[in-house]
Chain A
Amino acid sequence: AQKVTQAQTEISVVEKEDVTLDCVYETRDTTYYLFWYKQPPSGELVFLIRRNSFDEQNEISGRYSWNFQKSTSSFNFTITASQVVDSAVYFCALSEAIGGADGLTFGKGTHLIIQP
């Protein structure tokens, strides 16, 4: 069975600090997809990134970067120079590739608080 663990329940940093959100996953499949979503207080999940299991290249998008390491089953997310608008709950999710009929398996989320 697939599983996603986000060990950090809550992180609080001061604006402009860098922050890394950890994600560790378990799956028996060799082909799978990993995701990060942001959930602001409004409740709607906002898609941030999708990465398949064959692409271990790190990715950078503006202040956001992702580090995927299959050897440690981790897919960590770093925000550089954090801003108050980054405050939200962030979810890491996993989907195995066969038809996606099991939907997305989410971690419990990390509540990120950016203080001014």
Chain B
Amino acid sequence: ETGVTQSPTHLIKTRGQQVTLRCSSQSGHNTVSWYQQALGQGPQFIFQYYREEENGRGNFPPRFSGLQFPNYSSELNVNALELDDSALYLCASSLGLGPYNEQFFGPGTRLTVL
């Protein structure tokens, strides 16, 4: 196990609703990245937070937003849910920026939008 935890494990929402997913990073890790993995696809980068600031963002609309807290845990918020938002959401923590820092992934939150 990586020490990265995510909650909840599963979630069912209705189109148009809002959802908040949570991630606790591995102890000492100050960088958290979020990924969306649709069924049968590879994970897609949503955004990254470093020391409570958004450091980079993938090709996702503004209704995907995030936060990182002083203890480096993080939240992913999705507003106005669409059916295509149904996916496994993965968070990964690392010790600092840069790809030379290994990213440790959590088990994911499976979101179903009906």
Whether B2 contacts A100 by the Cβ 8 Å rule is: no
Partner pick for B56 among A43, A46, A103, CB 8 A cutoff: A103
Count, chain B residues at interface, CB 8 A: 32
- From 69 to 116 in chain A, residues with beta carbon under 8 angstroms from any chain B beta carbon are 91, 93, 95-97, 99-109
A42 within 8 A of B: yes
Q: Which residues of B contact A104 (CB under 8 A)?
A: 33, 35, 43, 45, 99, 103
Smallest CB–CB gap between B8 and chain A, Å? 14
Smallest CB–CB gap between B16 and chain A, Å? 27
Whether B43 contacts A91 by the Cβ 8 Å rule is: yes
Stretch at the interface among B67-75, B77-85, B104-112: B104-112
**Residues 35-75 of chain A, each 1 if its beta carbon lies under 8 Å from chain B, else 0:** 00100001111110010100000000000000000000000
Count, chain A residues at interface, CB 8 A: 29
Q: Which residues of B contact A33 (CB under 8 A)?
A: 99-100
Partner pick for B58 among A43, A44, A50, A102, CB 8 A cutoff: A102
In the assembled complex, 5 residue pairs joining A and B whose CB atoms fall closer than 8 Å, in A order, are: A33-B99, A45-B105, A99-B55, A99-B98, A106-B43
Task: For the A-B complex with A44-B108, A102-B56 known, give 15 more contacts whose Cβ atoms are closer than 8 Å.
Answer: A43-B110, A44-B1, A44-B106, A50-B100, A91-B42, A93-B42, A97-B100, A99-B55, A100-B101, A101-B56, A103-B33, A103-B46, A103-B48, A104-B43, A109-B41
Give A residues with C-beta under 8 Å from B.
4, 6, 32-33, 37, 42-47, 50, 52, 91, 93, 95-97, 99-109
